[in-house]
Chains A and B, each alone.
Chain A
Amino acid sequence: MKEVLLGALHNDILAYVLMALVPLAWVVPFALFAVWWERKISAHMQDRLGPMRTGGWHGWAQTVADILKLIQKEDIIPAAADRKLFILAPYLVFAGSYAAYAAIPFSAAFVGSELNIGLFYIVSISALVVVGLLMAGWASNNKWSLFGAMRSAAQIISYEIPVALCLLAAVMVTGTFDMQQINQMQEGGIFHWLVFQKFPFLFLAMIMYFIGSLAEVNRTPFDIPEAESELVAGYHTEYGGMRFALLFLSEYANMFVVAAIASTLFLGGWTSPFGDFLSGPWWGVFWFLSKGMLIVFVQMWLRWTLPRLRVDQLMEVGWKVLIPFSFVVVLGVGFWVMAVR
């Protein structure tokens, strides 16, 4: 794809920028779809139906209708709020989530930007989300938003550690940060996937990464920052209309990012579980998206089943449970890799 664009445009920079923008074609429709999907999943789990009318078949156009409604709303910025930060915050949150898509390979033939430090880049750029959340909470000039933002910052940076350690365990086995190469190493069927290598260490790493990623994206049981029943809506209490829509959509974009990272690193990404059968550049896109959506489904499933942890319990789980276990995993994988070499 890169060659096609380079050949057509004769301008390197424009071609690279366009390549990096292609994932947007997935992210925005996915965010709209994910909102509908979450409403349907939660409804069926709760013995009810969810959206049924908007657009005809099972209310598929519900999110579209919601976005159209939100666009029309009056843009209210609280009088005492810090205007510049208030306006900037949702864009930072969205940029932090979206920028990670540039380095995730959607298929053997397509990756937004070929980075040999791809994984390192992803972990660091996702941290921009914390800055955005803190900005949103602070700029709202609302004690409740501030509480939500502070809790969120504490939570996300605490859980970055076990997340990074588990990713490190996977990197120790592959020997590279390059996401495309990591994917290529997992070709050949389901038993080549990283999650089944160095058993049980990478399996544990996957589970701990998944739990840590729930905290990264503020999903229950770690959704203190937006704990509706306590803080009204946490850091996005004062946001209305399209600004709220942007924060909301970037949450779903972020969910897919962490799901995509999990599926790329541990579940084989765009490789087919059957080896050569049903593989190829377009099948790769299908497998990658399916694995990502499967993990997103589990995230949604957990949200509607579990209660939420209190902020100190959450920190306890992060620091006192996940970090020691991830150290064990890293040590285990490290010794194994050294021993085999």
Chain B
Amino acid sequence: MEERMTSERTVAGFGRSLKTEEMVLSMGPQHPSTHGVLRLELVVDGEIVVDVIPHLGYLHRCFEKHCEHMTSYQQVIPYADRMDYVAAMSNEFGYVVAMEKLLKIKVPERVEYIRVIMAEFSRIVSHLIAVGTYGMDIGAVTPFLFCMRDRERVLDIFEQTCGARLLYNYMWIGGLSHDVQPNFAEKVRSFCTYFRPKLKELNDLLSYNKIFIDRTANVGVLPADVALNYAVSGPTLRGSGVRWDVRKNDPYSIYPTLDFEIPVGTGAMGTVGDCWDRYMVRVKEMEQSVNILEQAIEKLPPGDVQAALPKRIRPDAGDLYVRTETPKGELGYYLVSDGTASPFRVKVKSPCFVNLSALPAMARGSMIADVVAILGSIDIVLGEVDR
């Protein structure tokens, strides 16, 4: 500890040594840029960050322990929503896919298509927040408002379908809570035509802005091998050039039948794996999500959305791990069942938690302003980090 706290420098030409001290700065837990209650302990030498130590747990709500005391597996779903509260549908999707595999049941096709549509909407919604708040961290406030405006259109669709804007309790084990409204297809299509020009507007305003590029290119470079060693996933991993997406590499639901691309970072503006790459991967993923939406809504079959399941589900004793691709990365549910109606263990592998662990590796040696940029490019939601 002592060696880290002070460092001796010799002032050239004077022959004396000028003792400098490293300052310990606490960024958070209340801070406009830490995307929630996160405390980053920065050890800085002037403006250069020597080390970053994230302190977590400010939003820990005992989700996993709570699950063990629930009287049925269905009760977990509203709580799962609240982990990554920005993209709640994705959390539910992961859980119900895991549960249906545990129960070995198959859901109707209509349910699969609607779930994928909702998951892709949730991806767009989460990336809009990521991109908007990222611009705001860098200093451009206006794109945030534009992203919020576009997000409201999606939230309107969610509200019409299940009554809630942000936390839905929509995807149930074996089906959905409500069928979609009769004008659902029309609303989805009109959103797709509305949204594509907005992406172009975002690119014109923010993505290719010289100041934005200067702030994000070559900053926080995460090399591909380091990323893989840290088990980083999602756009953070794809920004480093690794083409890995659970929807393609370990597919679930109807993703194998849909045609979409996986954008990866190419170092177009700087180095592969810098903040700009991660940001751009998210922007391109929004575009790909719109493609998926258009395909899925064309193929949406008619049918029933609620399966006949008993009130108290009793899966066979056993355990499994199922992963899905949320906007933040690979969300994994490890479910252990002991044969009763109450879950024995619901362990969540949170992508934000794992991605955040790579922050020190990315941020050492950069400046304080860069720490904000790097943290924003990882796109964390503290609800998921802490659960």
B139 near A229: Cβ-Cβ < 8 Å: yes
Q: Does B368 contact A (CB under 8 A)?
A: yes
Whole-angstrom distance between the alpha carbons of A224 and B47 in the complex? 13
Interface stretch among A20-28, A39-47, A81-89, A158-166?
A39-47
Is B47 a contact partner of A42 (Cβ separation < 8 A)? no
A304 with B139, Cβ < 8 A, contacts A228-B32, A312-B367 known: no
Say how far A290's CB is from chain B's closest CB, in angstroms: 26
| Residues of chain B at the chain A interface (Cβ within 8 Å) | 23, 25, 31-33, 47, 135-142, 145-146, 149, 205-206, 209, 211-212, 214-215, 367-370, 372
* A307:B209 contact, CB within 8 angstroms: yes
Query: 8 closest A-B pairs (Cβ-Cβ)?
Result: A308-B139, A46-B145, A307-B140, A307-B139, A307-B138, A229-B33, A310-B369, A229-B137
Closest-by-CB residue of A relative to B370 is A310
Main secondary structure of the interface of A (DSSP, over half): loop
Contacts A230-B33, A230-B368; A46 near B146 (Cβ below 8 A): yes
Which of A45, A47, A230, A313 is within 8 Å of B372, CB to CB?
Answer: A230
Task: Find out whether the CB atom of A229 lies under 8 angstroms from the CB atom of B140.
Answer: no
- A310–B206 Cα gap in the complex (Å)? 16
A306 touches B (CB below 8 Å): yes
For the complex, what is the distance from the CA of A77 to the CA of B369, rounded to whole Å? 28
Which of these, A48, A223, A310, contacts B215 with CB under 8 Å? Answer: A310
Q: Which B residues are in CB contact (< 8 Å) with A310?
A: 214-215, 367, 369-370
Whole-angstrom CA separation of A232 from B214 in the bound complex: 22
Interface residues of A (CB under 8 A from B): 42, 45-48, 143-144, 147, 220-221, 223-224, 227-230, 232, 304-313
User: In the complex the two chains form, what is the Cα distance from A309 to B367 in whole Å?
Assistant: 13
Question: Smallest CB–CB gap between B44 and chain A, Å?
Answer: 9
Chain B residues near A306: list those with CB within 8 A.
Answer: 139-140, 209, 211
Name the B residues within 8 Å of A311 (CB-CB): 47, 367, 369
Q: Which residue, of B139, B141, B368, B370, has the highest number of chain A Cβ atoms within 10 A?
A: B139
Majority SS at the chain B contact face? helix
A164 to B135, CA, bound (A): 33
Partner of A143, one of B23, B142, B209, B211: B23
Residue of chain B at shortest CB distance from A230: B372
Bound Cα distance A3, B23 (Å): 60
Pairwise interchain contact A309-B211, C-beta atoms closer than 8 A: yes
The reply to whether B368 and A221 contact each other, CB–CB distance below 8 Å, is no
Could you tell me the distance in whole angstroms from the C-beta of B72 to the nearest C-beta in chain A?
A: 43
* CB-based nearest B residue for A222: B139
By a CB distance below 8 angstroms, the chain B residues around A143 are 23, 25
Q: 18 pairs across A/B with beta carbons < 8 Å?
A: A46-B142, A47-B149, A220-B139, A221-B139, A228-B32, A229-B136, A229-B138, A304-B142, A305-B142, A306-B139, A307-B135, A307-B140, A307-B206, A309-B215, A310-B367, A311-B47, A312-B367, A313-B214
B23–A47 CB distance below 8 A: no
A42 neighbours in B (Cβ, 8 Å): 141-142
Q: Which residue of A lies closest to B213 (CB)?
A: A307
Kindly list chain A residues whose C-beta atoms are within 8 Å of the C-beta of B368.
147, 230
Please indicate the chain A residues that have their CB under 8 angstroms from the CB of B140 in the complex: 305-308
Contact A227 B139 (CB under 8 A): yes
Given contacts A45-B142, A221-B139, contact A230 B369 (CB under 8 A): yes
Contacts of A308 in B (CB 8 A): 138-140, 211, 215
